[in-house]
Amino acid sequence: MDHEMFAPQVTALGGDYRVITWDERGHGKTEFDGKPFSYWDSASDCLGLLDHLGIKRTVVGGMSQGGFLSLRVALTSPERVRALILLDTESGVPAEETRAAEQGMVDMWLSVGPIDDLANPVAALIIDDPVENQKWIAKWQAGKKEAMLEPARCLHGRDDITDRLGEIACPALVVHGTSDVAIEMHKAEILAAGLSGCDGVVKVPGAHAANLTHPEPVNAAILDFLARLPD
Mean pLDDT confidence for 40-59:
98
In this prediction, residue 37 carries a pLDDT of 98
Considering the domain boundaries, does residue 128 fall inside one? no
Q: What is the residue range of 197's domain?
A: 3-93+160-227
Give the integer Cα–Cα distance in Å for 189 and 174: 9
**Residue 61's CATH number:** 3.40.50.1820
What ranges in 157-214 are assigned the alpha helix state H?
185-194, 210-213
Considering the domain boundaries, does residue 100 fall inside one? no
Considering the domain boundaries, does residue 125 fall inside one? no
Give the integer Cα–Cα distance in Å for 61 and 20: 10
Considering the domain boundaries, does residue 11 fall inside one? yes
Considering the domain boundaries, does residue 14 fall inside one? yes
Considering the domain boundaries, does residue 190 fall inside one? yes
Angle between helical axes of 96-112 and 116-126 (0-180°, round to 10): 140
pLDDT at 231 over 90: no
pLDDT digits (tens, 9 = 90+) for 87-114: 999 999 999 999 999 999 999 999 999 9
Mean pLDDT confidence for 63-81:
98
pLDDT digits (tens, 9 = 90+) for 117-158: 999 999 999 999 999 999 999 999 999 999 999 999 999 999
Considering the domain boundaries, does residue 12 fall inside one? yes
Give the integer Cα–Cα distance in Å for 173 and 195: 9
Average pLDDT, the chain: 97
How many domains, in total, are found in the chain?
A: 1
pLDDT digits (tens, 9 = 90+) for 158-183: 999 999 999 999 999 999 999 999 99
Considering the domain boundaries, does residue 140 fall inside one? no
